[in-house]
Amino acid sequence: MSTDRIEKTVILKAPRERVWRAVSDAAEFGRWFGVAFDGAFAAGKSVTGRIVPTTVDDEVAKMQKPYEGMAFAFEVASLEPMRRIAFRWHPFAIEKGVDYSQEPMTDIVFELEEVPDGTRLTIIESGFDRIPIARRAKAFAANDRGWEKQVELLGKFLARCAQ
């Protein structure tokens, strides 16, 4: 088992164009993920995100509530329309009063592939081995569970949009 990389794959019952919009439009991303961004996603640009409860799952929204308003840096590394978007961030940077800006960031990639049943989405977060040892395992475990939940939230968001 890798300590450096998390990978989650799901088949979403939605066209690739729709999934692409959900992961590449900052406002849509924010609704399912549970964050409000201060700008649009553009390659090479940084945006600030503030945690807000997700709009697609009451239970998850309740878990996000204690962190509401917490800000974090979100860098858009690259955009390949309809195929791939890559971000960087400081993983599990939720402790109040801690400055994470000098720590290395992890890389997050969303890859989309059209398949007969919809769209295969693969989310990869890597670079945990660069995170300071004191918080590396906790960040990895939290994000491993977090990406599982985010995949579910995205599926719920897309299902609502189809109605």
- pLDDT tens for each residue of the chain, 163 residues long: 688 999 999 999 999 999 999 999 999 999 999 999 999 999 999 999 999 999 999 999 999 999 999 999 999 999 999 999 999 999 999 888 888 999 999 999 999 999 999 999 999 999 999 999 999 999 999 999 999 999 999 999 999 886 5
- One DSSP character per residue, 58-70 reads HHHHHHHGGGTT-
> What six digits make up the tokens of 3?
């300590």
What pLDDT score does 94 carry?
Answer: 86
Strands 106-115 and 84-89: antiparallel
**DSSP 3-state assignment of 26?**
helix
Starting at the edge strand that comes first in sequence, how are the strands of the sheet with 106-115 ordered? 5-12, 118-126, 106-115, 84-89, 71-80, 46-51, 35-37
H or E stretch at 137: helix 133-162
CA distances from 70 to 2, 74, 131, 159 (A): 29, 13, 20, 28
d(CA 150, CA 106): 17
